[in-house]
Structure 1
Amino acid sequence: MGKIFNIFTGHRDKDGKGITKEEAGNLEKLSFINFFKMFSIKFNNIVKSNALFFLCNIPIIFALYALAGFQNIITRAPTDLLYPNIYGVIKYEGINTVTAALNSHFGIFAELSVPSKATMVLYAISLICIFTFGLANVGMTYLLRDSVRNKSIFIWHDFLGAIKKNWKQGLIIGIFDITIIYILYYDLISFYYNSSSFINAMGFYAIVFIALLYIIIRNYLYLLSITFSLKISKIINYSFRLALLGIKRNILALMGIAIVIYINIVLYFLIQPLGVFLPFIFTIGICGFMGVYASWPVVEKYLVKSTKNDNEKIKPLYEYESDDESEESKS
């Protein structure tokens, strides 16, 4: 029971030698090779962050239950649009050789699942996630950022503390984030099913490009909101600029995120229960960790260090510690 309790308490007393001071120093360089080392070391934090993210977004379970269709009304409907006309002919002419043949061809029925009132109530409850989504991202990003910075974290305390300190920005950015995701998803579906013309096909690829760019941009949205005291407009502006300034790291992170999601989708079709539960265990956390690992050095280079040198008029929410300052604080 003690081990289970320690999962979310942040208690870090463990058996094992851990890592040396020299190894910790080497990990401060957030390179491609060090990613795998840090990923293995911080995997426990990633899983915990993922769990807290979904715990904060618990109403999503109602949406998933509604999507499963357990509360839907099952009815039967003809598969051919001509059946109503054929049915009228049968009623008028009666059953004969011709109408029987027409009925056998056009009178094929299929089961149709229609959302019930209970299903709509479940969907309505899940809308709470519109307000919790940004807060959950703020808390998870804070934990992942300090994991990338190789700082000690207390899971519950830091997660809730980040939300408490940044709830206004997290709420607004979360609603903005969900809105953009919905618009991009709607446009992708619309252009995909109407891409017969050249213009619509080009529109589809343009939306794909914008969606990929936004995936990169959103890595910075929550990271900047928990790191600096900025207006929402500046957070969006800086996120776009940093996405371009760190394009190499961002593309690598985007490729890594795509691979993780692809593996999850493949597992869903091979072993459906596993594919369904993976996002609740670590898929979201791994994708978030990749995004923070790629974006934090860019933020540090263009904002944190420039802030310390007074080159940017940005008021940080925390006092960034250099190596020397960190050593002094430990003594």
Structure 2
Amino acid sequence: MEELKKLEEAQRMITLMESHALLSSSSSSSNNRFLANLFLLLIQQCGDLDFKDKLSLINQHLPKISDSFLEEASLLFNRKEAVLQTESKFIANSNGDMEDMALVGLDAMQRANSTLEDFCRSYFMFHEMDINKPRSIFKYLPLLSYTESYIYQMDSLNEKIVNMQTNRVGAIERKPHMEVSERWIGKSIDMLKNDPFRPLLDQLQHHGLLTERINEEFRFGEEYWDLERKLCSALMNQTEILVEDVMRAIHLKSFDYRVLNLLLYQLRGEKVNDVHMEFLSISEFLVEVSDDLFFYVG
């Protein structure tokens, strides 16, 4: 839902800009989004700078900024996109037999780290495991990290679809002269909308860890991503957003935590504690609501 929050902020700023006649009728959606993000940056707290100081700094330095500087800065700071393209080329150039494997990239593993740390600190105690004992962590870490990283990798692709919708970019066409990375992204988007977890499910099945309950949580994950795309599209197109869809998305969002919990039960050879899972489901919902209230109200 992070992408949805960003879009909601940008849309509110665009509405405010329109009310103050800061946008022309011929202005494109890309222009509006750029200006909205710029104004959102200007109103962010930055030390003791006030609005006058910020505008003065912009007026002072803007004439010095060149295309070459922006290109260099883009290469230096847009690491996530560069990493995705590099990993895409590697996978696309790999042997065809690898296409059905649940490959994960370094960027996805790095993004998954915070969730894994939170899971270990907050959930291990429900499995009677000691977070202060490294063996408790490393014994199960490879598979938990692998699973969460794969989920994050698919989540990144979902964000790419959302951004494509936001920028009104059509679906990626299959053309012979298309770059390898774009072909792979297009293929991955197809997979995301059809059977995103199949390679991972096959791996879990191979290791005897897949259960119907885990499978169900992955289906909830697919539903969540579908709802996220739907809500972001509705927000940008200023069409009706159903409260039921928002509530459903909040309930589904933490599906990865439930997957990790169920996997940990399987790895430890223990029966799933339904009371534990129900408690965590309610707790996760309250955390999501709290985060949203902090973002929108705080």
Query: Structure 1 length normalisation: TM-score?
Result: 0.33
Query: Structure 2 length normalisation: TM-score?
Result: 0.36
When Rg is computed on C-alpha atoms for both structures, the one with the higher figure is: 1
